[in-house]
Amino acid sequence: MAGGHPSVTRLPLFPLPDVVCFPRTELKLLVEEPRYLRMVKDLMDLEDEARWIGMVLLKPGWSQSYDGRPPVYSGGTASRLIDVENLPDGRSQILLVGDFRFELERELAGDAPYRLAEVRPVEEPWLNEHDAGIRAVRKNLTELLRLVAVETGERFPLDGAELEELAGDCAFEELVNRIASGLDLPALRKLKLLQQPLPERGLAILSILRNRQQVLDLLRPWRHLAAADPGHN
């Protein structure tokens, strides 16, 4: 693969109904199904640089054939298996780090109980981090994040330390993807963000945050009235 990606394009798949992994983000998962425990075990037998998992999203209706090969969306993220904690009850807690986006080309037959696929890496367009447009989007994203966080308090999915880290010197791709990963959006909406090129993804997230701030602005007077009502619980 180009751009520093692994030379292999064959990945074990980990399809889930409600999780979308983004490049340059961390993802913790609890693995309990035998086939995926086997996948983790097989990967841990490999060298560190060969421990790749293709995270994909299951399509609606997956529960009817979950034990087999229910349909998945073609876009996903190749992630490195970084850490495994084997629990006393037989389950495993794993840590993944997203690396690159891919399009699923075809699934492969094999003896393993888990699914294997051939994938095509999807490169992000090169961006100049010092470009005025990129700097403006970064500034607006971090400002809106802080505003929405203040308004929503504990319900906001990113804590203060994460917000400050994002507002620092992290790369634009990491900023955008960590926000996309942390926002409480439906999985299918997150998949749509993942499939957009990075510049469009950043603008889409900016639009989402602006819409949320507008709603919060509209609701602010009513929240104050509710707080002042002695009968309000």
SS3 state of residue 139:
helix
pLDDT number for residue 33: 94
Bridge partner list, 10: 118
Q: Which residues, at least 6 apart from 85, have a Cβ–Cβ distance to it below 8 Å?
A: 92, 93, 94
pLDDT number for residue 225: 55
pLDDT number for residue 221: 67
pLDDT number for residue 154: 60
Q: What is the mean pLDDT of each run of 10 residues along the chain (233 residues)?
A: 56 95 96 96 95 95 79 95 96 97 92 93 89 91 83 66 74 92 93 96 94 78 55 50
Cα separation, 73 vs 86, in Å, equals 30
Query: Residues of 75-113 as b/e, b for ≥16 C-beta within 10 angstroms?
Result: bbbbbbbeeeeeeeeeebebebebbbbbebeeeeeeeee
Cα separation, 33 vs 151, in Å, equals 39
pLDDT number for residue 157: 66
Tell me how many helices (H) and strands (E) the chain has: 6, 6
pLDDT number for residue 19: 95
Q: Of 61, 79, 77, 81, nearest to 69 (Cα)?
A: 61
Token pair for residue 48? 């560190």
Token pair for residue 42? 């097989």
205 to 3, 101, 183, 195, 212: CA distances (angstroms): 25, 18, 9, 13, 11
Cα separation, 91 vs 97, in Å, equals 20
Cα separation, 28 vs 96, in Å, equals 6
Cα separation, 178 vs 142, in Å, equals 12
Angle at 57 between CA 121 and CA 77, to 5 degrees: 25
Enumerate the H helices of 8-110 as residue ranges.
34-44
pLDDT number for residue 153: 64
Phi, psi for residue 29 in degrees, rounded to 5: -135, 145
